[in-house]
Amino acid sequence: MQMYQAVIDFINEMSLQGDDQEQQAELLYAYETSISGFAAKLSTKQLQSLEKVDGFLSASPDQLLQLHTTISQQFLSLQTGKICWIFGCSNADMLAAIDKAIQDGVDVLSISLGSGPLPFNRDILSIDSFGAIKSGVFVSCSAGNLGPYSSYLSNSAPWMMTVASSYMNFPSSYQAWKWKSC
């Protein structure tokens, strides 16, 4: 966290040299468990300064993921994290929630949101879930089933268990078990 704050402070110092009117960069989240990185509010000029920092790999704008469920969490009495708002679910919030869940020692993540089909290297959920899998967390994600074609789905990375949905809610019993390594 301190390293990322130091980077933001450096960017703010660089910004002050050129334009006193520019809003300061702000660190929102630091990710240290499933991925290594941070979320920040940056102007275009501040992003250009960040790209010059040693160790910079990539940056992407925060995008909203769409919720793929309506009442499943309440219906199944599942523990949920608050990452979704009225207009969607922020990538930055989702990454922070997964990072925190791994730190808390969860065994399973069930994620019912997505953005549509993207290449794995551009799909933040695929990248973050890979880090979760490497930490020993089983990741199950919704397929989305949003169309326009029957084969059009999100969350299709091979390390995720991707599941389809239905429109029927019915109670059933389930037995949880602990996975064992072979």
57: pLDDT strictly greater than 80: yes
Please classify residue 106 by burial: count the beta carbons closer than 10 Å to its beta carbon, then call 0-12 exposed, 13-18 middle and 19+ buried.
middle
Q: How many domains does the chain have?
A: 2
User: Do 15 and 83 fall within a single domain?
Assistant: no
Query: What pLDDT is attached to residue 22?
Result: 73
Residues 159 and 81 in one domain: yes
pLDDT band for position 175 (50/70/90)?
low
Residue 120 phi, psi (nearest 5): -55, -35
Residue 170 lies inside a defined structural domain of this protein: no
Determine, yes or no, domain membership for 57. no
List the one residue out of 32, 53, 50 whose CA is nearest residue 41.
Answer: 50
Q: Which distant-in-sequence residues (6+ apart) come within 8 Å of 42 by Cβ? A: 11, 25, 50
pLDDT tier at 52 (50, 70, 90 boundaries)?
Answer: confident
DSSP-based three-state secondary structure for 106: coil
Residues 34 and 78 in one domain: no
42/85 same-domain check: no
Neighbours of 6 (CB within 10 A): 11
Distance CA 164, CA 128 (A): 21
- Quote the distance between the C-alpha of residue 11 and its chain's center: 24
pLDDT at 131: 92
**Same domain for 84 and 144?**
yes
64 or 79, higher pLDDT: 64
Q: What is the pTM of this model?
A: 0.74
Same domain? 85 vs 140: yes
Share of the chain above pLDDT 70, in %: 76
Q: Are residues 41 and 70 in the same domain?
A: no
Same domain for 70 and 151 = yes
**In-domain check, residue 73:** yes
The answer to whether residues 6 and 81 belong to one domain is no
- Average pLDDT across the chain, whole number: 80
pLDDT score, position 166: 63
If asked whether residues 68 and 45 sit together in one domain, one would say no
d(CA 145, CA 117): 11
Domain region containing 148: 64-163
Task: Indicate the angle between helix axes 124-134 and 91-103, nearest 10 degrees.
Answer: 0
**Binning pLDDT at 50, 70 and 90, where does residue 179 land?**
low
For 110-165, the pLDDT digits (tens) are: 888 877 777 888 888 888 999 999 999 999 988 876 666 666 778 888 899 888 76
pLDDT of residue 113: 82
- pLDDT of residue 18 exceeding 70, the answer is no
Same domain, 17 and 73: no
What DSSP assignment string belongs to 134-177?
A: HTT-EEEEE-----SSTT--S---TTSEEE---S----------
Q: What's residue 182's pLDDT?
A: 58
Residues 44 and 134 in one domain: no
Q: Angle at Cα 109 formed by Cα 167 and Cα 143, nearest 5°?
A: 40
pLDDT at 173 exceeding the cut of 90:
no
